[in-house]
Structure 1
Amino acid sequence: MRSFSSAVKFFGLLIPIIAAPAFASGLISGQELDTQIRQKLETIGLSGTPAVNPKRQFAACSSDLEISPLFGNWKTVSVRCPDEGGWQIAVRTRIEAAEPAAGNKAAKPGQKSRKVGLANPPRGGATQDEAKAMLHVAALSRPFKRDEVITPDDIIMISVKKANASGMFPQGDDLIGRKVKKSISAYRPVYARQLFMPWMITAGQEVQIEVEIAGIAVSVLGIAEENGQYLDWINVRNARSGKRVNAQVAGPKKLTISTKKY
């Protein structure tokens, strides 16, 4: 009972504001959420087994749920109720079908698909041993200055010796959305030290804080007081009451509270 009452104190009057309409208009079950995610995946040629508890209940949403990919792929999706004061969760899809190769773009009708090319492909006469000693790593197609953000169109792959690849990025997708800390030349390997740490939540950012109470997912607007990576525990305060609590980073702009911690 202590964990329940502590969560109630933190969320305050939000519970009657959110939960009451949910009971009036019905609830969305985890099973229904699972079905909608599967249907969304099917529209893009994928299939999966969403990691959703079928018994979990969510507040009803008067608008259609918005389902979109997180982290640049469909392995994890964001499910959002766009209603005012609505909720948002991140769900692992456990997709079974292969996604399009990283760096490829969907081709328009009548066009061939474009792949990320190698800036310096191995020479045709390279020996098998020489080829094994090389590694493809990410580079940029143009010079970058501090605070610029890398997009998929900026990324190319170049070939370097494996022995020199420490701190580089063999997966080009790992650069998407990263902010540059030091100037980077074009067609040169990108090093981790040249980029800012990719915090999922940053101090001062508005976030949604969610807790499950009696089977109902309740959320409230909060302000993060620390930077945090995925699954980190950070301090956050209720934007309305100012009460501070420790919550876990569950996705972009989303934290969850475990009632077991109270």
Structure 2
Amino acid sequence: MVRQGLLLGLLLATPQPVRAEAPASAMIPAEQAVAIATKAMREAGIVDATPIAPSHPLPACKGPILASPRQGTWATIVLRCDSPHWSRSLRTGAATAETRQASASRVPDTAKATARQAIALIRPLGKGEVIGPQDIVLIPVSDQTPDQVFSLPDDLIGRRLKQAMAPGKVIAPRHLAPDWMVEKDGPVLIVSQAGSISVSVTGRALESAAMGDLVPVASLSSGRTITARVIGQDIVSVALKPLEIAP
């Protein structure tokens, strides 16, 4: 009886097993955690601060991941999962951003109207990736911001990056790959027109060119190389010489 009592005591004193951590393949990448935090900040009006990526992936979550400011300030953002229950904190650097916004609210309306704004990324993009409407946001910038900046989304949507860029980075022309309308060795439609007469043949561009540029193209039907002007995506134009009628 004594031995049975000792055995029962040992079993009761044994710690209960804990749930194993989700396998690495089911974990949430650090980039996704940053995207979730960034989206919550943008919806709250915090646009000029960027969450710092966690050093490790987040555990798996069966439901939505909730994001909220810690103790009422976006200087630290808390990501929380209810199933299984866990929370992680990300520093954002939003304290200075909130301070600037509070100061801006005291600036006269005339000064606000003249403040510069520029388009920046809200998520990381790699070299060669195309900028979409979901990737950019308009943020205030100082008068000392170098380079030309963009303020109209239509000037950037569809353009490719020449280099990888991090969230919060203002996009300048030097960050963009050339906006070629015609690619070297790519197919083109050669349009020739004189008055009411129009002729179209296929060709091959011998150089890359932008809208309005002159570019050498080779006609696939005749093999001749001619100089044409870019008038659209993969479309070039050549003026036909008017026919000379003998007297």
Name the TM-score class by shorter chain.
Answer: 0.5 to 0.7
Secondary structure of the residue that 2:174 maps to in structure 1?
A: helix
Once the two structures are superposed, residues 35-91 of structure 1 have per-residue CA deviations (whole angstroms, 9 ceiling, x without a partner) of: xxxxxxxxxxxxxxxxxxxxxxxxxxxxxxxxxxxxxxxxxxxxxxxxxxxxxxxxx
Secondary structure of the residue that 2:211 maps to in structure 1?
A: coil
Letter in 1 for 2:147: S
How far 1:202 moved relative to its partner? 1.5
How far 1:163 moved relative to its partner? 3.2
Q: Does 1:189 align with 2:170?
A: yes
Change (3 A) 1:218 1:260: closer
User: Which protein shows a greater Rg?
Assistant: 2
Matched residue, 1:80 = none
Query: Do 1:142 and 1:154's aligned partners in 2 also have CA atoms closer than 8 Å?
Result: yes
Change (3 A) 1:118 1:202: farther
Matched residue, 1:119 = 47
Matched residue, 2:180 = 199
Change (3 A) 1:124 1:230: same
Letter in 1 for 2:157: I
Query: Do 2:189 and 2:203's aligned partners in 1 also have CA atoms closer than 8 Å?
Result: yes
How far 1:162 moved relative to its partner? 2.7
Q: Does 1:170 align with 2:98?
A: no
Matched residue, 1:251 = 232
Matched residue, 2:209 = 228
Superposed, 1:1-262 pairs within 5 Å as: 119-120=47-48, 122=101, 123-128=104-109, 130-132=111-113, 134-164=115-145, 166-213=147-194, 215-260=196-241
Secondary structure of the residue that 2:144 maps to in structure 1?
A: helix
How far 1:205 moved relative to its partner? 1.3
Change (3 A) 1:165 1:172: farther
Q: Which runs of 5+ in 1 are unaligned?
A: 1-114
> How far apart are the structure 1 equivalents of 2:163 and 2:234?
26
Q: Which runs of 5+ in 2 are unaligned?
A: 1-42, 49-99, 243-247
How far 1:212 moved relative to its partner? 1.6
Once the two structures are superposed, residues 89-115 of structure 1 have per-residue CA deviations (whole angstroms, 9 ceiling, x without a partner) of: xxxxxxxxxxxxxxxxxxxxxxxxxx9
Change (3 A) 1:147 1:178: same
TM-score w.r.t. length of structure 1: 0.50
How far 1:150 moved relative to its partner? 0.7
Once the two structures are superposed, residues 199-231 of structure 1 have per-residue CA deviations (whole angstroms, 9 ceiling, x without a partner) of: 111211111101125622110111111111211
Secondary structure of the residue that 1:220 maps to in structure 2?
A: strand
Secondary structure of the residue that 2:134 maps to in structure 1?
A: helix
Query: Do 2:194 and 2:239's aligned partners in 1 also have CA atoms closer than 8 Å?
Result: no
Change (3 A) 1:216 1:162: same
Once the two structures are superposed, residues 135-164 of structure 1 have per-residue CA deviations (whole angstroms, 9 ceiling, x without a partner) of: 111111211111111112212111101332
TM-score w.r.t. length of structure 2: 0.53
**Two-structure CA RMSD over aligned residues (Å):** 2.7
Which structure has the higher relative contact order (CA within 8 Å, separation 6+)?
Answer: 1
